[in-house]
């Protein structure tokens, strides 16, 4: 068992980012709801308390029992720091002005193990409406900014610390150094959680869990399901039976090209064309959640039928990753609200006799790619942009018809091909086109047209939890727009989405 850091989630938008920063230091971390803290065993080296949208003065705010404080190193971040200050005799009050954004450290205690090596004047990121006005006598201030005197504190005689700023956010320039101080110097973590160790441990765990059973895996052609397939193949070999379903909502020529890409990977793959079944189920449905659920239902039906053909199959493997789980049910059922459902999250209906195995469900996208590289997988597969499970079904706003799918496939093909031709594909984390539920007036030659509009979307990100719109060159966008309008019949207007996540999401539905 690996050493691990527990992160107690109070509902902060940054909780998952804390986990990623810990893992970037090759230390395993787990997120748990603040009110469902697991048993503290010998593998737990420290605990981090996250931020929260709550105020500690709110009667409904989280009130954890920190039974481990004093025995284990603890780092409270934002709300976590305010809670400990408030709970142990300090005073937390509303800030006179909302403290949000960049600030600079005006004082740093270089003798304290948490803040040693941080620079006076170093930029940090604030995001809070309350502030710690006073601390108990047993606390000492270890960091301040011009506006926040208690930007960091230490409880004397304990390895317990609180910081008002967010070290997990990139805008805190020395945040990694502070986290390393806590995790390595204070908690004593050995930094041995690496892609190689994950592969070795996961393969061993899969062998023990699956025994001599047969597993069906739904392949999509994307990074997640491909890495899951290679891991399972390494664990159980030819007892892994892969199925790639054409749901009629894939990219242009995707079904054939994906099947071809797996020929040289030693995987047992079967292609199933179920596109008409998906179209029939989706007919007349415009609601985004309704479409997701309809697509998920047909996937389940198809896999149920295929599993019955395979009499030995007892497991269904899925390429679920951490952001899928977080956005569907929040991190481990924590306080965060559900953003949207994912068709591959939440288990299977009772009528299916398959058990679920998800070897990647605790990994972020960038971690999945690192695992794939450690398995010597083809970079063409690992470097592919993410593509949503419901496919073009959630990139067509409104109801779905085969005619709309065909148009969007052509638009998407022009856009993605142009990104590759211009050497921009690898600069983009995810790109695609959205079919808009409007028609607009246009002029083509001497004729007035009234045709469809599309939006192009390209973002930069590391894990999909946050994203910024990609600043593609104007000349490139002009060229793509011209090519789409000239080559794709039925489109006379092209727009470019410049929304970031948050407040928008990467997909429109």
Burial of residue 60 (number of CB atoms within 10 Å: 0-12, 13-18, 19+) = exposed
> DSSP letters along 29-95, please?
EEEEETT-PPP--TTEEEEEE---SS-TTSTTS-----TTBTTB-EEEETHHHHHHHHHTT-EEEEE
Q: Which one from 159, 168, 174, 367 is the annotated catalytic residue?
A: 168
422-to-251, 409, 430, 488 alpha-carbon distances in Å: 20, 20, 16, 20
Q: CA 259 to CA 152: how far, in whole Å?
A: 55
- CA atoms 288, 293, 299, 302: torsion sign: negative
Q: Which one from 86, 128, 166, 241 is the annotated catalytic residue?
A: 166
Indicate if 200 belongs to the active site: no
Q: Mention every residue, 6+ apart, whose C-beta is less than 8 A from residue 447.
A: none
Indicate if 32 belongs to the active site: no
Q: CA 277 to CA 152: how far, in whole Å?
A: 58
> Closest Cα partner for 313 from 274, 286, 261, 348?
348
Indicate if 189 belongs to the active site: no
Q: CA 268 to CA 241: how far, in whole Å?
A: 6
Cβ neighbours, 10 Å, residue 303: 22
171-to-78, 127, 129, 153 alpha-carbon distances in Å: 15, 12, 19, 21
22-to-27, 184, 403 alpha-carbon distances in Å: 6, 10, 47
Three-class SS state of 371: helix
Distance of CA 195 to the CA centre of its chain: 18
> DSSP letters along 2-37, please?
--EEEEEESS-TTHHHHHHHHHHTT-EEEEEETT-P
* Residues identified as active-site: 78, 166, 168
């Amino acid at each position: 068992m690996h050493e691990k850091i527990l992160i107690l989630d109070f509902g902060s938008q940054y909780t998952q980012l804390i986990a990623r920063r810990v893992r970037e230091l090759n230390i395993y971390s787990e997120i748990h709801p603040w009110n469902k803290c697991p048993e503290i065993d010998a593998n737990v080296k420290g605990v981090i308390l996250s931020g929260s949208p709550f105020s500690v003065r709110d009667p409904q705010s989280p009130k954890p029992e920190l039974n481990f404080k004093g025995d284990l190193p603890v780092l409270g971040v934002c709300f976590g720091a305010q809670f400990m200050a408030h709970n142990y005799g300090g005073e937390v009050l509303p800030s006179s002005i909302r403290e949000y954004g960049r600030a600079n450290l005006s004082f740093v205690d270089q003798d304290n193990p948490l803040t040693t090596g941080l620079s006076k004047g170093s930029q940090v990121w604030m995001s809070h409406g309350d502030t710690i006005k006073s601390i108990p006598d047993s606390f000492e201030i270890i960091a301040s900014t011009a506006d926040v005197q208690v930007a960091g504190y230490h409880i004397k005689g304990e390895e317990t610390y609180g910081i008002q700023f967010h070290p997990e956010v990139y805008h805190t320039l020395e945040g990694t150094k502070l986290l390393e101080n806590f995790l390595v110097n204070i908690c004593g973590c050995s930094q041995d959680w690496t892609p190689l160790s994950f592969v070795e441990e996961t393969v061993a765990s899969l062998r023990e869990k699956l025994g001599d059973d047969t597993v069906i895996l739904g392949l999509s052609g994307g990074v997640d399901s491909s890495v899951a397939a290679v891991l399972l193949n390494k664990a159980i070999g030819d007892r892994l039976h892969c199925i790639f379903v054409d749901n009629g909502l894939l990219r242009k020529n995707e079904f054939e090209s994906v099947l071809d890409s797996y020929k040289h990977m030693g995987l047992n793959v079967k292609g199933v064309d179920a596109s008409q079944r998906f179209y029939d189920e989706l007919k007349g449905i415009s609601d985004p959640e309704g479409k997701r659920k309809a697509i998920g239902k047909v996937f389940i039906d198809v896999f149920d039928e295929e599993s019955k053909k395979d009499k030995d199959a007892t497991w269904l493997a899925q390429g679920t990753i951490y952001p899928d789980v977080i956005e569907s049910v929040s991190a481990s059922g924590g306080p965060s609200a559900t953003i949207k459902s994912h068709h591959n999250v939440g288990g299977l209906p009772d009528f299916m006799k398959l058990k679920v195995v998800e070897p990647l469900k605790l990994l972020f996208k960038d971690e999945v790619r690192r695992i794939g590289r450690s398995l010597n997988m083809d970079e063409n597969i690992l470097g592919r942009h993410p593509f949503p499970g419901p496919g073009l079904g959630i990139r067509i706003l409104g109801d779905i018809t085969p005619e709309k799918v065909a148009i969007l496939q052509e638009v998407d093909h022009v856009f993605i091909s142009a990104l590759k031709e211009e050497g921009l594909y690898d600069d983009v984390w995810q790109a695609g086109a959205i079919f808009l539920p409007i028609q607009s007036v246009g002029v083509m030659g001497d004729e007035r047209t009234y045709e469809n509009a599309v939006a192009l979307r390209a973002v930069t990100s590391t894990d999909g939890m946050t994203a910024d719109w990609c600043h593609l060159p104007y000349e490139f966008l002009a060229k793509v727009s011209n090519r789409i309008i000239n080559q794709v019949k039925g489109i006379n207007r092209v727009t470019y989405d410049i929304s970031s996540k948050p407040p928008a999401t990467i997909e429109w539905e």
